[in-house]
Amino acid sequence: MTTQDWIGLGASYAYATGLLVLAEVIRRWRGYPQDFTRKIVHIGAGMWVFGVLALFDTWYIGIIPFASFILINYILWRYKVLESMDAPDSSPGTVYFALSITLLFLAFWRTNSPDDKGYIAAAGTMAMTWGDSMAAIIGKRFGQHRYNVAGGTRSWEGSVAMLIASAIAMFLTLVLVPGSALGPLTPPLASGTAVAAALIGAAIAAVAEAFSPAGTDNLSVPLLAGAVVFGIVTVLG
């Protein structure tokens, strides 16, 4: 375990604590509803995957913050510690999100190795971070055309927003991370491969979000999006 790993651990927990405190302060100060402050935490937590890619020298140390928040988020959800995170009737979606990120980085991230595919884990995370958030925001504000799937109600506006936001976020990740300081040993992807992976991955993510009940989209969306990206990259190179 290197000095850089210690820095990464400290920065990760400081960032997570600051994010939770910020959301709670905003809720109390401005009176924003729980679903709004929850999205702040959702987006902020998802974007930290790039901080993890940048800070850690050792991949299995870098996964520790993700894994520990499976338990931490469960406690916060179970006992409703923070109103900015969990309403009385909320699902354990934050627990699923931490679990899915942990599984993606366990599967694909290998620091200082030619086998490193951390960008795939990051791309899968982006499908949930931005896709799901935009689906909720656009769907609630502009959703006029509703449909029912698996006992849940969605809007076509929200689903389209999820598709577009996921595709953009995944494409940018696939283009910018390989070969950069976040993935120095990973060869850059061909633009056609990045486009195909982002579009197909986003389409699968949007379908998964529509069919996943009670917060389980936090598990199904990133894992399926990551799996699709991996498959396409493997086939197309």
| Type of residue numbered 38 | R
pTM (2 decimals)? 0.91
Q: Which residues, in sequence order, are bridge partners of residue 155?
A: 146
**What are the sequence ranges of the domains in the chain?**
3-236
Closest CA to 64 of 17, 13, 22: 13
The pair phi, psi for residue 127, each rounded to 5°, is: -60, -35
The predicted model gives 65-94 an average pLDDT of: 81
Q: Which residues contact 145 (CB under 8 A, 6 or more apart)?
A: 155, 156, 157
Predicted confidence (pLDDT) per residue in 83-125, tens digit? 656 666 677 888 999 999 999 999 999 999 999 999 999 999 9
Predicted confidence (pLDDT) per residue in 29-57, tens digit? 766 666 777 788 889 999 999 999 999 99
Residue whose structure tokens are 């992976």 = 197
Cβ proximity of 129 and 41 under 8 Å:
no
In order, the DSSP letters of 213-230 are -TTTHHHHHHHHHHHHHH
3-class DSSP assignment, residue 168? helix
Cβ proximity of 156 and 145 under 8 Å:
yes
Cβ proximity of 88 and 96 under 8 Å:
no
Predicted confidence (pLDDT) per residue in 142-192, tens digit? 767 777 776 677 788 888 999 999 999 999 999 999 999 999 999 999 999
